[in-house]
A = this chain, B = another copy of it.
Amino acid sequence: MPDTTRWTPARSARDLGRFAKDVRRRRGISQAELADELGLTRQYVSELESGVDNLYITRLFEIFDELGVDVRLAERGDA
C-alpha cells in the first residue's frame, strides 16, 4: 500500500521550530511540559518555536523524538 503520510520539507532551523510548534499544539501539550520531559528550559523551547537561527542537532532529535516526528533524507536530482 502507498505511503499516505504527509511529508513537509525543511530547509532551515526556523522551519524545524515552526513544525515542532504545530505538532506540540496538536498534541495538546504546553511548552513547559515539553521542556520538562526534555530537560530543557521553558524559555528556550519558546525561543526555538519563535524561530531561532540555529540549534544543536541533538536537541532537534530529542524534541522530535518526544513529539513523534520522523526525519527523512534524499539525494536530489538522481532519478
**Chain A window 15-52, contacts with chain B (Cβ cutoff 8 Å), 1 for yes, 0 for no:** 01001000100100000000000000000000000000
Residues of B within 8 A of A67 (CB): 75
Q: Count chain A residues whose beta carbon lies closer than 8 angstroms to a beta carbon of B.
A: 37
Assuming the contacts A56-B55, A57-B54, asked whether A74 and B16 have C-beta atoms less than 8 A apart, the reply is no
Cα distance A67–B10 in the bound complex, in angstroms: 15
Across the two chains, which residue of chain B brings its CB closest to A71?
Answer: B10
What are 14 pairs between A and B in contact, CB < 8 Å? A8-B74, A10-B71, A10-B72, A11-B71, A13-B58, A19-B73, A26-B75, A55-B57, A56-B56, A68-B76, A68-B77, A69-B73, A70-B73, A70-B75
